[in-house]
Structure 1
Amino acid sequence: MKQYQRSSILVIGGAEDKVHGKEILQSFWHCAGGTSAIIGIIPSASREPTIIGERYFNIFRDMGAKDIRVLDVRDRIHGEDKGYQEYVEECTGIFMTGGDQLRLCGLLADTPLMERIRQRVKLGEVTLAGTSAGAAVMGHHMIAGGSSGESPNRALVDMAMGLGIIPEVIVDQHFHNRNRMARLLSAISSHPERLGIGIDEDTCAVFHHHNEFIEVLGRGTVTIVDAQAMSYTNQGDVSAEAPLALHNLRLHILGHGDRYNIKNHQPIAAVVE
């Protein structure tokens, strides 16, 4: 990513490189201000928040961030913590870790802390990143769980309400690594107005310019399922376990440096230098 923007949202497919080049984590750090970065880490999706919070704390400390704090929300009452809210006002970057997306939403949705984070993200005042479960919660509709390795069917995916940071998308993570294409298609069959985004491990979809563009970072791919022109689905007429028919979908597989214009639904190839 050539230009680092405070208004970027980094949606990471999970298992991002934390040891070698750390391209994705370095990009978040740069977007958040580099050595001037003030970073809040939210490990609430994890059942081991102390361990996972410390891991990312050490990574961003070693990169040279100015200040870092783990916002250890383990109960909804912590989402009203005045100290956490004051720190969020100073933050230039917020990082949501992996774990269980239902746990993350259950602890943070509609809390004063999350509402202020959402406002600051919308105003372009803070960089937000989420990995794995932290990526899944980005949309208004969220894939909460499900299976893989079958034909698309409604029983294959469990849906819930996400945090609505990027309401127009439905995100699935660990995508090709866990064979989740059918799961994303099953989700999109019920919500064809949303853009399906499947993100591989150690791969990131960076949302730029008030979510007008996606840019791909990392060593995997980002899969775009666009059902805007879908002409037919049987999803309302068959049982939950029956295979789904989905006609006239558009599918894009984006690699490192590729972009996608969300407004006009067009992929843009990476510039070869």
Structure 2
Amino acid sequence: MNIKGTLIAIGGNEDKGTGRKPLHVQDTAHDFVTSGILFRVVSEIKDPKAPIEIVTTASSIPEQVGPRYVRSFRKLGHKSVNVLTIKTREEADDPEVLARVEQAGCILFSGGDQFKLTSVFHETAFAELIHKRYINEPLVIAGTSAGAMAMTDLMLYPGADSASGMNPNVPLYGGLCLIHDAIIDTHFLVRGRFRRLAIAVCKYPSHIGIGLEEDTGIIVRRGNEIEAIGSGLVTIIDGRTLQEANPTVARGKHDIFVENLLVHLLHHGNSFRLKNMKLS
């Protein structure tokens, strides 16, 4: 399938041009205006006059999150930036909302609770429209934190991390299915999420695990070609060569044994192909 759209998945806490330092120690320094994550989002939009629509559905504070992105994108020179505050499935099917999505050059899903995204948008006209445009048009669909995690066909549920002993099951649910055969985890370094993503991949070895540090992301072109962007590392966990695995995590006890689990680390500018698993 010749997919014409572009996906941008971001690990959260991306530089918004406010001068605040990211929570993690940067591996690579990037200037917000010329090479930051949000600059890359803007640079992927083919029509500079096409609006960016910020979808704040996942957020518990949409009235704060939306304006932050509006200010950031306008600082980058993109003048047409709007906020879509969609809280219900009925609002997702509203003709006025769909008309705005039809005209957008970029849809950006903010962070928050990824389960809200799937609950609101699953099997709606909104979801059908962005899938159709993503396949057939040069639409940019971006997501940060929860917005990135919801892009895949299998989605990690928000909550306590398995490394803390609070969430032994590493539950997965259906996502928005923009990326297939993949599981994305975010805030990967600062929240110690390697264990839970590794367990998820062991459960579903046909799925590639993609761990994104904060202020770090991937650009996915043609549904297959991944480019690492941002100031941190992208961790790729490949379970398709597993020979034996016992990722059993019982209450109060954490036993995990895995043989031949492959791990790749990508930094800004590295490329990776999902279909043949080649790194460059």
Residues 222 and 238 (structure 1), Cα distance of their counterparts in 2 relative to 1, 3 Å cut: closer
Alpha-carbon distance in 1 for matches of 2:94, 2:81:
17
The superposition leaves residues 189-233 of structure 1 with CA deviations (integer Å, 9 ceiling, x where unpaired) of 11110000000000011112x122111111100000011111112
Greater RCO, 1 or 2 (C-alpha within 8 Å, sep 6+): 2
Q: Which segments of 5 or more consecutive residues in structure 1 lack a partner in the other structure?
A: 269-273
- Indicate conservation of the 8 Å contact 1:140/1:170, yes or no: yes
Q: 1:191 matched to which residue of 2? A: 204
Q: After TM superposition, list the pairs within 5 Å mapping 1:118-137 onto structure 2.
A: 118-137=131-150
Q: After TM superposition, list the pairs within 5 Å mapping 1:176-255 onto structure 2.
A: 176-208=189-221, 210-235=222-247, 239=250, 242-255=254-267
Question: How far 1:139 sits from its partner (Å)?
Answer: 0.8
- Indicate conservation of the 8 Å contact 1:37/1:66, yes or no: no
* The one of 248, 260, 263 aligned to 2:275: 263
Q: 2:184 matched to which residue of 1? A: 171
Q: 1:102 matched to which residue of 2? A: 115
Question: How far 1:67 sits from its partner (Å)?
Answer: 2.3
* The one of 63, 84, 96 aligned to 2:76: 63
Q: Which segments of 5 or more consecutive residues in structure 2 lack a partner in the other structure?
A: 20-30
Q: 1:11 matched to which residue of 2? A: 9
Aligned pair 1:149/2:147, yes or no?
A: no
Q: 1:91 matched to which residue of 2? A: 104
- Indicate conservation of the 8 Å contact 1:150/1:182, yes or no: no
Identity %: 33
Question: How far 1:124 sits from its partner (Å)?
Answer: 3.9
Name the stretch that deviates more: 130-139 or 65-74: 65-74
Residues 67 and 150 (structure 1), Cα distance of their counterparts in 2 relative to 1, 3 Å cut: closer
Question: How far 1:243 sits from its partner (Å)?
Answer: 1.5
Alpha-carbon distance in 1 for matches of 2:224, 2:180:
13
- Indicate conservation of the 8 Å contact 1:10/1:205, yes or no: yes
Q: Aligned partner of 1:184: which letter?
A: L
* The one of 171, 177, 181 aligned to 1:158: 171
* The one of 35, 48, 53 aligned to 1:40: 53
Provide the secondary structure at the position in 2 that maps to 1:264: coil
Alpha-carbon distance in 1 for matches of 2:47, 2:186:
27
Q: 2:91 matched to which residue of 1? A: 78
- Indicate conservation of the 8 Å contact 1:143/1:172, yes or no: yes
Alpha-carbon distance in 2 for matches of 1:177, 1:124:
36
Alpha-carbon distance in 2 for matches of 1:133, 1:226:
22
Name the stretch that deviates more: 93-102 or 33-42: 33-42
Question: How far 1:80 sits from its partner (Å)?
Answer: 0.8
Alpha-carbon distance in 2 for matches of 1:16, 1:216:
14
TM-score between the two structures when normalised by the length of structure 2: 0.87
Alpha-carbon distance in 2 for matches of 1:189, 1:92:
37
Question: How far 1:238 sits from its partner (Å)?
Answer: 7.6
Alpha-carbon distance in 1 for matches of 2:92, 2:181:
25
- Indicate conservation of the 8 Å contact 1:32/1:127, yes or no: yes
Q: Which runs of 4+ in 1 moved over 4 A?
A: 237-242
Residues 175 and 150 (structure 1), Cα distance of their counterparts in 2 relative to 1, 3 Å cut: same
Provide the secondary structure at the position in 2 that maps to 1:149: helix
RMSD of aligned residue pairs (Cα, Å): 2.2
Alpha-carbon distance in 2 for matches of 1:37, 1:62:
16
Name the stretch that deviates more: 77-86 or 102-111: 102-111
Alpha-carbon distance in 2 for matches of 1:67, 1:84:
16
Question: How far 1:35 sits from its partner (Å)?
Answer: 3.3
Question: How far 1:25 sits from its partner (Å)?
Answer: 0.3
- Indicate conservation of the 8 Å contact 2:46/2:105, yes or no: yes
Question: How far 1:150 sits from its partner (Å)?
Answer: 5.6
Q: Aligned partner of 1:11: which letter?
A: A
